[in-house]
């Protein structure tokens, strides 16, 4: 890494009062504010800065689909490839009414830095379709998936762009994408997506990987503060795949899960919740609401509940300048992408909260996606113990690299993570040179 060199305000054209006119809710600009800080500390060449601040490719497609009613509906789909200098683009596909190009662009950039941070040979991408899958039949969902896949098929491929599940998509959707791609190419291509069913080339341990990664880095952060997972009080916002798995694994390591939430509400028990029982409840009732063995309280209260570890594992921008001053947790482990705004970061740093940033905390998912891609291409599959052991090795190594960078540059963990990631991507561009 190059030596730190603080640049004067205005370097790269960044205004020093940027926070005053940046909307906190713009995910791309919020993410790029952290990138800008890392770029300044790395004394990044202005030309290379411009390259890394812009996505390589942004695709917008119309997705016409025949509904079961006979009505023809046209949805909008996006796919953004942010940077592929280190390898094929890697990133999820989400089906949601709130999908926007700015959000997809931000998430694709996040994936670029995330893959570089854990040092796996992928670039970053992301995709989505603006739709409400809860109103669709299984047949309609399949038609949306296949038509969207056909719309971006020239971008997809094991050597170019490899999707994975994201918000409102799952193994079933990945199976449809793989089949559509394979039918167009006239042979089975398992490595075109990850997060598939194990029976068709998916990896053991992939479903739990993001939550397991959160557990590993939380354990390391607690150790750094002289604490352990055993007896630590943990609050988890979001009880989907990431949040429920993280809560379950931490509980099995002896942590006390004092609060959890989902879209239906939040539950609190200072003595600790029975996570195994809660998971069973959600499987039967599809929501946390109504669970009788805990106190119900507001979702907003969960973020400021008395705890040692807060795991925001739901959506972007939930920790803001408004609630950050009231957060009591010693550690925040960002299971979701972008849960903390830049303004909140400053407040948390002053409070001395140890933040495990999203590009590190939730990198377990893409790490095991990488393992799946490797297994598919090699045609040789690992047992779950091997997957989990290799995941732990990568997550712990990345945590220690971030910790060392924090000390070297005298910055917080988020900026340190960006410094490690941006430096690796920039180094690859310097080695490859510029094609002209």
**If residue 268 lies in a helix (H) or strand (E), which one and from where to where?**
strand 265-268
Of the candidates 31, 44, 34, 38, which has an alpha carbon nearest to the alpha carbon of residue 80?
31
Residue 403's alpha-carbon distances to 124, 187, 330, 409, 417, in angstroms, are 24, 45, 16, 10, 9
Q: What is the distance between the alpha carbons of residues 180 and 309, in angstroms, rounded to a whole number?
A: 42
Nearest by Cα to 261 from 314, 323, 340, 321:
314
E strands along 105-155, which residues?
123-130
Selecting among 90, 105, 114, 126, the annotated active-site residue is: 126
> What does the alpha-carbon distance between residue 214 and residue 85 come to, in Å, rounded to a whole number?
27
Specify whether the CB–CB gap between 217 and 395 falls below 8 A.
yes
123 and 87 Cβ atoms separated by less than 8 Å: yes
Closest CA to 161 of 281, 56, 69: 56
Measured between alpha carbons, how far is 244 from 229 in angstroms, rounded to an integer?
16
How many CA atoms lie less than 13 Å away from 116 in the CB half-sphere? 29
Of the chain, the end-to-end C-alpha distance in Å amounts to 27
Coil, strand, or helix at residue 342?
A: helix
* Three-class SS state of 319: strand
- CA separation, residue 48 to residues 35, 123, 395 (Å): 13, 16, 28
Check if 126 is active-site: yes
Helix ranges (H only) for 135-240 are 138-151, 171-185, 209-224
Separation of alpha carbons 256 and 247, rounded Å: 9
φ and ψ at 205, to 5 degrees? 85, -5
- Alpha-carbon span 190 to 179, nearest angstrom: 9
- The whole-angstrom separation of Cα 122 and Cα 329 is 33
Active-site residue set = 126
């Amino acid at each position: 890494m190059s030596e730190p060199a603080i640049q004067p305000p205005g370097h790269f054209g960044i205004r020093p009062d940027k926070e005053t006119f940046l909307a906190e809710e713009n995910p791309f600009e919020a993410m790029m504010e952290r990138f800008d800080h890392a770029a300044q500390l790395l004394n990044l060449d202005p030309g290379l800065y411009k390259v890394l601040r812009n996505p390589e490719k942004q695709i917008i497609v119309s997705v016409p689909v025949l509904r079961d009613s006979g009505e023809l509906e046209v949805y909008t789909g996006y796919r953004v490839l942010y940077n592929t200098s280190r390898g094929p683009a890697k990133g999820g596909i989400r089906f949601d009414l709130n999908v926007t190009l700015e959000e997809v662009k931000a998430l694709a950039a996040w994936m670029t830095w995330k893959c570089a941070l854990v040092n796996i040979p992928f670039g970053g991408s992301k995709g989505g379709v603006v739709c409400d899958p809860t109103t669709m039949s299984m047949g309609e969902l399949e038609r949306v998936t296949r038509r969207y896949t056909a719309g971006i098929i020239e971008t997809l491929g094991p050597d170019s762009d490899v999707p994975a599940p994201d918000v409102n998509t799952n193994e079933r959707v990945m199976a449809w994408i793989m089949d559509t791609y394979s039918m167009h190419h006239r042979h089975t291509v398992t490595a075109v997506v990850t997060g598939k069913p194990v029976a068709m080339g998916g990896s053991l341990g992939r479903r739990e990987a993001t939550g397991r990664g959160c557990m590993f880095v939380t354990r390391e952060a607690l150790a750094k503060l002289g604490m352990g997972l055993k007896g630590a009080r943990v609050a988890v916002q979001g009880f989907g795949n990431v949040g429920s798995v993280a809560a379950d694994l931490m509980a099995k390591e002896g942590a006390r899960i004092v609060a959890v939430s989902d879209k239906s509400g939040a539950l609190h028990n200072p003595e600790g919740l029975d996570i195994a029982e809660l998971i069973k409840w959600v499987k039967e009732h599809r929501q946390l609401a109504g669970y009788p063995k805990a106190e119900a309280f507001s979702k907003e209260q969960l973020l400021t509940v008395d705890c040692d570890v807060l795991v925001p594992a739901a959506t972007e921008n939930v920790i803001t300048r408004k609630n950050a001053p009231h957060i009591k947790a010693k550690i925040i482990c960002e299971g979701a992408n972008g849960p903390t705004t830049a303004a909140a970061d400053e407040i948390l740093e002053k409070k001395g909260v140890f933040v495990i940033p999203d590009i590190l905390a939730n990198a377990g998912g893409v790490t095991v996606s990488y393992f799946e891609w490797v297994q598919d291409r090699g045609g040789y599959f690992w047992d779950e113990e091997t997957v989990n052991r290799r995941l732990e090795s990568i997550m712990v190594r990345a945590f220690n690299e971030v910790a060392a960078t924090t000390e070297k540059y005298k910055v917080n963990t988020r900026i340190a993570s960006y410094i490690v990631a941006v430096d690796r991507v920039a180094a690859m561009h310097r080695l490859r040179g510029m094609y002209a």
